[in-house]
Amino acid sequence: MREMIKMVVVLTVLSAFSGGLLAYIRDNTKEQIENQQLEFVKGPAIKEILKGAANNPIADRFKLKDGEIERSFFVGVFEGEPSAVATESYGKGYGGDVGLMVAISIKEDKIIGVGVTTHSETPGMGARAKDDPAFATAFKGLSAAEAVKVTSDGGKIAALSGATITSRAVCAAATDIVEIYKRLKPQIEENLKAFKK
């Protein structure tokens, strides 16, 4: 009986100690990990779509509450004005979620660039959404007031041949971001003022 109690006590104390230690370390590294992920996973896409910005869009970011979800917005400063924001959303692709970063110009309500961040599509087929620059270029200049669709759905984006599902996923993600933008525009403008120099 005594041995039984000892076993339980030792394991409990050990586990509790481990849990505490891990929670402490997690709390202390959380922010740094987020920064690293931004820089190495989403960073290249953000820098690409906000090309020419005078600031560092990864450092200049703010968060907004959208219903239950908290979204990160990245700010692009052009000609001295913080006039563009980029944010990320997901669409259902062929092999899983396709992450898309979309930059929108506040002044013109237009999409100024898109970039696929994460995906698990087939290499050579759906993966061209990320690798083929021509596909992303087609999104430039689209109005941020209406839904983004592929041509076969009555939209303006020519789907990648052999990768209709991926193309639709990218469009769905873009549409989602356009919706978010419309919904949150007043708050976005409010937040952007802080980045004016």
Partner 1 sequence: MAKTLVQEFTKGLWEEIPPFRLVLGLCPTLAVTKSVENGIGMGVAVIFVLVCSNVLISMMRNIIPPKVRIACFIVVIATFVCVVELVMQAYTYPLFLKLGIFIPLIVVNCILLGRAEAFAFKKGVLASIADGFGIGIGYTIALAMLAAFRELFGSGNLTIWGDMKVMEVFGSSFQPFQFMVEAPGAFVCLGLMLCVMNIAGKK
Does residue 29 bind partner 1 (CB under 8 A)?
A: yes
Q: Give the H or E element holding residue 24.
A: helix 2-37
Among residue numbers 40 through 69, which ones bind partner 1 (CB under 8 A)? 40
Tell me the per-residue interface mask from 81 to 120 with partner 1, x by CB under 8 A, - otherwise.
----------------------------------------
User: Smallest distance from the beta carbon of 47 to partner 1, in angstroms?
Assistant: 16
Per the CB < 8 A criterion, the answer to whether 104 and 110 are in contact is yes
Per the CB < 8 A criterion, the answer to whether 166 and 136 are in contact is no
Q: In 55-149, which ranges are continuous DSSP H helix?
A: 128-131, 133-137
Q: Give the H or E element holding residue 167.
A: helix 164-192
Contact with partner 1 (CB under 8 A) among 26, 51, 65, 182: 26
Does residue 12 bind partner 1 (CB under 8 A)?
A: no
Does residue 151 bind partner 1 (CB under 8 A)?
A: no
Contact with partner 1 (CB under 8 A) among 1, 32, 107, 197: 32
Tokens in use for 118?
A: 């994460």
Nearer to partner 1, 26 or 65 (CB): 26
User: What number of CA atoms fall less than 13 Å from residue 93's CA on the CB side?
Assistant: 27
CB count in 10 Å sphere of residue 64: 18
Q: Which residues bind partner 1 (CB under 8 A)?
A: 3, 6-7, 10-11, 14-15, 18, 21-22, 25-26, 29, 32-33, 36-37, 39-40
